[in-house]
Structure 1
Amino acid sequence: MLVPVSRTLLSNLLQNHKVVSQISRSMRLVQFQTPNLSGPHLGLEEKVGGGVINLNAFDPSLPKTMREFLEQGETALSVARRALESKQPVLKRSEVTFLSPITFPDKVVCVGMNYVDHCREQNVPVPKEPIIFSKFGSSIVGPYDEIVLPSNSKEVDWEVELAFVIGKKGKDIKATDAMAHVAGFTVAHDVSARDWQMKRNGRQWLLGKTFDTFCPLGPALVTKDCVADPHNLKICCRVNGEVVQNSSTSQMVFKTEDLIAWVSQFVTLYPGDVFLTGTPPGVGVFKKPPMFLKKGDEVQCEIEGLGTIVNKVV
């Protein structure tokens, strides 16, 4: 005997199935170390703030760096999905040291003035084209690593940012095709020496942005299928527990697709390339009076669904 099913119930069942399927495919990729393992390893953070599945233990043929993992594309991702679904043993969070989810990228692409509310804070017009600069890859550190104040700067500032990582090589990429080139999203802290950025070195931004330890990333590279809308996430920064930045990625002027299309006009994008997409208002240089980081400060950068990075200033 067939039992009639209401449209509402059927809709709910289909929606639940869609949610379960989405969760089953979602991955939080990490690079980590432990005292008992030599060198970096690839893992999966089981949930935000959770333990870690050792992907290299699940399949020793997998590479041990994220960049090489991404270069293998869907082949490597399918192995990681199997590991996630196979109920592998989980290392306790206290047992591992989290590295940046991506290290030694070919490029770190940064975007300036990319939040409408940040432009308003400075009383400047919204850019008509993306403002692109860079950091050196050597500035990248892990999500819980220390930020080292340089001896030749007195104006070191915080900037929470949404970052995305390229997963597929491309050049002259159309905006409509851009998301196919994204591996996932993570949290970034674009630490900035304002004196070097705004007053010295001809006011070019590079040196002020690229001191060692000035680019904490992590804790996980959250695959794009896990992020329903990267341009509608809460984003905030706290210094010593006080909220100093509080906005939404919906304020971004140029979205992920726009940035990939724009930058790939000029350069080829490679797996592992990192994009820092700009910061919302509330940075220290525009406070009255200006406020800069000092030794002993703790900075927390958090983005909804992606996680939190915590950096002590030394």
Structure 2
Amino acid sequence: MKLVSFRITTPVGPFTRVGAIHGQHVVDLNLAYVRWLSDQHEAQPYRLANAQVPSNMLEFLEGGLSTMAAARRAVDYAAMLGPSTKGPVGETIAHGAGDVRIIAPLPAPSSLRDFIAFEDHIAATSQKRGQPIPPEWYKAPVYYKGNHRTIIGPDEDLPWPLETTKLDYELELACVIGRTGKDVAEREAEDYIAGYTIMNDFSARDVQFQEMACRLGPAKGKDFATALGPCLVTPDEIRDLGALTMTARVNGEEWSRGRFGTIHWSFPQMIAHVSCGEMIYPGDVFGSGTVGGGCGLELDRYLKPGDVVELEIQPIGLLRTKVVGPAPRG
């Protein structure tokens, strides 16, 4: 499934719902399941659907395998009935893709960890500092904890942050955890992944490097925004994760191209490492870190007000962000 969070406007205000992309439509999973339960003559279809297929993405992920199974049943049933099918009291189940606003698939993650897992990227950034790759990097996957409260979604503007003169994008794939666990073995870790999405770990490089010179961070240099989207693709939709092509374009010009299979530390290795001695939870986001060549820092090119950044990884889709100014003077 390609899971999305989408926003609809109603006479009583806006609502955010969980959906699945099906052709040119977004299926409201909760209402599709309500319709299925109603047609099975359940006495309380709304109450059961709210428990089994919640309309909030974090609660949906917390439902685990049983919620995923119910959601698949709901999508299949809605597809069989057709896009004009309504809920028991006339609710819209299938929305035209252009009639709703797709937001970040997980607008409020439980946590955000971003790794530096591509050897080509850490080699390039270390070389810029006149240093070799730290030998410690090869001992375990390393990460920082980002601000999970500043998530933005597809086609959402990024206001120019801080007083930076070196605003950068970072081309990443992210996995989202779907099960609670602790001390997860690497061989079992894939079973804890609910799905994958595109991640743009925006960075103010000058602020970041000033912070990290003090042996801490990054913090303010990255905490202002992380883009996720456009959807959360379940693992069964991706045959070969390593074969995924990752591209970045700025104003239509390709700046970066890489392949996920060049990663050194895998998602299962990340999960095993993080869960060692501590809990992981549904809705935790693990960023892969930047693919080799996947940021302006490596290219000595930075973003400007008005730039449109597009990250693309198929079959997930396209994550587009427009940078809006003004930039600081100086």
Q: Same fold per TM (> 0.5)?
A: yes
Kept in 2, the 8 Å contact 1:108–1:134? The answer is yes
Q: What residue number does 1:142 align with?
A: 153
Q: 1:57 aligns with which of 22, 31, 40?
A: 31
How far apart are residue 147 of structure 1 and its match?
1.2
Q: What residue number does 1:206 align with?
A: 219
Percent of residue pairs bearing the same amino acid type: 33
1-structure distance, mates of 2:319, 2:259: 17
Does residue 1:293 correspond to 2:303, yes or no? Answer: yes
Q: What residue number does 1:40 align with?
A: 16
Deviations 1:142-171 (A, max 9, x none): 122111111422211001110000000001
Kept in 2, the 8 Å contact 1:231–1:255? The answer is no
1-structure distance, mates of 2:294, 2:230: 23
Task: Give structure 2 stretches of 5+ with no counterpart.
Answer: 35-45, 84-93, 325-330
Q: Match of 1:274, SS?
A: strand
Q: Which aligned pairs between 1:234-313 and structure 2 lie closer than 5 A?
A: 234-280=245-291, 281-287=293-299, 290-313=300-323
Deviations 1:99-141 (A, max 9, x none): 11112222101002x2132234333437212121021111211
Kept in 1, the 8 Å contact 2:154–2:227? The answer is yes
Q: Which aligned pairs between 1:158-237 and structure 2 lie closer than 5 A?
A: 158-200=169-211, 202=214, 204-211=217-224, 214-237=225-248
2-structure distance, mates of 1:104, 1:191: 17
Q: What residue number does 1:67 align with?
A: 58
Q: CA RMSD in A?
A: 1.7
Kept in 1, the 8 Å contact 2:211–2:218? The answer is no
How far apart are residue 92 of structure 1 and its match?
1.4
1-structure distance, mates of 2:243, 2:188: 20
2-structure distance, mates of 1:266, 1:154: 40
Q: Match of 1:204, SS?
A: coil
Kept in 2, the 8 Å contact 1:108–1:274? The answer is yes
Task: Give structure 1 stretches of 5+ with no counterpart.
Answer: 1-26
Kept in 1, the 8 Å contact 2:9–2:15? The answer is no
How far apart are residue 235 of structure 1 and its match?
0.6
Q: Match of 1:199, SS?
A: helix
How far apart are residue 244 of structure 1 and its match?
1.1
Q: 2:72 aligns with which of 81, 90, 94?
A: 81
2-structure distance, mates of 1:73, 1:51: 24
Q: What residue number does 1:109 align with?
A: 113
Cα 1:282–1:160 shift into 2, 3 Å: closer
Using the TM superposition, name which of 75-84 and 175-184 deviates more: 75-84
1-structure distance, mates of 2:105, 2:167: 24
Using the TM superposition, name which of 89-98 and 244-253 deviates more: 89-98
Give TM-score scaled by structure 2 length: 0.81
1-structure distance, mates of 2:277, 2:158: 32
Q: Match of 1:40, SS?
A: strand
How far apart are residue 220 of structure 1 and its match?
0.9
